[in-house]
Structure 1
Amino acid sequence: MTSSQLLLEGVELMLFGMGFVFVFLLVLIASIRVMSYVIAHFATAPAAQPVAAGPGSAADIDADTLAAIRGAIQQHRARRG
């Protein structure tokens, strides 16, 4: 084989490889878009429900418990520096 034939085969192989990668990436992008559409269409999440204040809401805490919580927070902050 001459050097020009080797060079042409190398260019041909390069173009074949680049074309294969390009087609693979196009297929990958298309499949990601299809999966995104399918997930968005069929897997709709229900809207978040607001949580009502239960028996442990802040209005129900007595003064002694609130003072203990404040003291614990102050002690924790003093230890951390």
Structure 2
Amino acid sequence: MQDPGLLQDGLELMTLGMGFVFVFLTVLVISVTLMSRLIGRYQPVPAALSTDKNMHKPAATSSQDDEVMAVISAAVHRYRTTRRS
């Protein structure tokens, strides 16, 4: 049962597999590093955010807020009445 040739074949296969994985991971790390550098070099500079106070105003008016609140309240009321029955 202890064939030295079989053990040697197994060790060769293990070495080949581990070598392949090592080479693949090395190529992967190098390619990701290169892509990161390329993106950093050619990526456009983000536009500066304006600190204008007009941008911080809410888009919805108070009448729209009241309408949304009424619709939500009606939906909750209807849900609760159908669950009690």
Instruction: Give ranges in structure 2 of 5+ residues lacking alignment.
Output: 77-85
1:7-48: CA deviations, max 9, x gaps? 101111111111111111011011001100110111133233
RMSD over aligned Cα atoms: 2.7
Map residues 1-81 of structure 1 onto 2, 5 A cutoff.
Answer: 3-50=3-50, 52=52, 53=54, 66=62, 68-81=63-76
Structure 2 letter corresponding to 1:44: P
Q: For 1:10, what is the secondary structure of its paired residue?
A: helix
Runs of 4+ in 1 over 6 A off after TM superposition: none
Give me the TM-score of the superposition, normalised by structure 2. 0.65
Percent identity of equivalent pairs: 35
Aligned residues between the structures = 72
Give me the TM-score of the superposition, normalised by structure 1. 0.68
1:45-79: CA deviations, max 9, x gaps? 3233327538xx66xx9xxx63x223212213203
Instruction: Give ranges in structure 1 of 5+ residues lacking alignment.
Output: none
